Amino acid sequence: MSLNELFKHYKNRPNTKFVLETKIDHSINPSYELEDKIAQVVKEYHMENRIMIHSFSAASLFHLRESMPHAYLILIVGSLRRINFSILPQVNAVNASSDIVQEHPFLIHWLHKLHKQLYVWAEMDESPALWHWLINRNVDGVVTNFPATGFKYKLAKSGTKKYAINRSGIYFGKTKTATMMNPYVRIKEKKFVYPGQKINVTYGVRVDDRLYYQIAEKTFISAEFVNLDLRKQDIAPYQNKKIMAKPDTQVALYSYPDNQAKTNKLLPANKLFKIQNFNGSPKNMWLYTKLGWVKANQILFYGFFNKQAFKDYKKLPRVSHYTNLALLTYNPNSQIKEQTFSEKQKAINRIIY
């Protein structure tokens, strides 16, 4: 099928776009007949806004820029030496080999500062390691022989939000947790973060309404048990304590310590639940139970019934003082037996007489 036939077939399908490549070496063939024919057909079918033309030949791109000033042109390079300020003003983007970008990751930021886009090409073999690496980079596109795989990773990353944090934190989990190379396609690695380990959180990434923290190059973990604002002394008096729902209060359960993770379930009333973990900040603390996460200001802390417990409680910074403490040492898990009518009458008679 010729280029004319292709454009004619798709001319009324505006969502169909095309990537063209001029494979020509003008040091051997000085003629620009190929570029002139491409420009002629593109203009004939009004495809200027529906095509991208890339080439290893800087001369070819120079000529195409003269004949189509508004065309989207991409320079293909396999070496940094081919990127210079002679060709850059003539193109919209650079299509670099994955080896270059992996060895010189500054290239991404540098080209973006020059308002140029960066695409990556490789001898793609659907290597998960390469795809995981690419998806963690701010590249503008990938040229691949496996578009289905690329589309899967694009869908996984779409709708996500990434923002800088650059803060130290502590992993409060009770057991070690495996890291992952990226939070979009969550494949766990044989690397771990251990209970109490201090970590440096550089970025937060929200995927599927769940937050993940980047803690190193190509290394992410779930943010569920990572604390940025709580210290061990902030939670020490509350550890190993239990909680119960406040009277006449519907306490919502959350799947994660996040307002966006609210479920349609409630913490059962008149039952005790052990605190298993913590998150949030001293003033706005989240508590983890076997049923899920709850907000600390919606429950009663149960277990401050001796001098030592209150002594530890008083050592807390004022901001960590929660006043919603259960003061009676009854067990709400045991049912209170309802008195019969005759038992109620006997009790009244004892009071009267």
Give the model confidence (pLDDT) of 229-268 as tens digits.
888 888 889 988 999 999 889 999 999 998 888 999 999 9
Specify the range with the lowest mean pLDDT, choosing from 81-85, 154-158, 289-293, 294-298.
Answer: 154-158
- What Cα–Cα distance (Å) separates residue 346 from each residue in 175, 235, 338, 343, 352? 56, 49, 14, 5, 10
How far apart are alpha carbons 302 and 291 in whole angstroms? 17
CATH number, residue 105: 3.20.20.190
The pLDDT value given to residue 348: 57
Q: Which two tokens stand for residue 232?
A: 């061990």
> Do 82 and 110 fall within a single domain?
yes
> Do 120 and 29 fall within a single domain?
yes
Place of tokens 């040492």: 329
Q: What is the mean pLDDT of residues 170-187?
A: 89
Q: Is the pLDDT of residue 88 over 90?
A: yes
> Do 166 and 182 fall within a single domain?
yes
Q: Which two tokens stand for residue 337?
A: 């037996």
Q: Which domain range does residue 293 map to?
A: 232-320
> Do 88 and 203 fall within a single domain?
no
Q: Which two tokens stand for residue 13?
A: 């399908």
Radius of gyration of the chain (CA): 32
The answer to whether residue 11 sits within a structural domain is yes
> Do 94 and 165 fall within a single domain?
no
> Do 195 and 67 fall within a single domain?
no
> Do 14 and 120 fall within a single domain?
yes
Domain tally, the chain: 3
More confident residue, 102 or 193: 193
Q: Is the pLDDT of residue 283 over 80?
A: yes
Query: Alpha helices, DSSP H only, in the chain?
Result: 3-10, 33-44, 58-67, 98-103, 106-113, 128-135, 147-157, 232-235, 307-314, 341-352
DSSP calls for 185-224: S--EEEEEE-TT-EEEEEEEEEETTEEEEEEETTEEEEST
> Do 12 and 112 fall within a single domain?
yes
The answer to whether residue 130 sits within a structural domain is yes
Kindly report, residue by residue over 135-174, the tens digit of the pLDDT. Answer: 777 888 888 776 656 655 665 666 677 888 889 999 999 9
Q: Is the pLDDT of residue 330 over 70?
A: no
Q: What is the mean pLDDT of residues 87-94?
A: 94
Average pLDDT, the chain: 86
CB neighbour list of residue 100: distance below 8 Å, 6 or more residues apart: 77, 78, 79, 80, 107
Q: What is the mean pLDDT of residues 117-132?
A: 73
The pLDDT value given to residue 6: 93
Q: Residue 176, Cβ neighbours under 10 Å: how many? A: 12
CATH number, residue 185: 2.30.30
Place of tokens 């983007």: 93
> Do 209 and 297 fall within a single domain?
no
The answer to whether residue 67 sits within a structural domain is yes
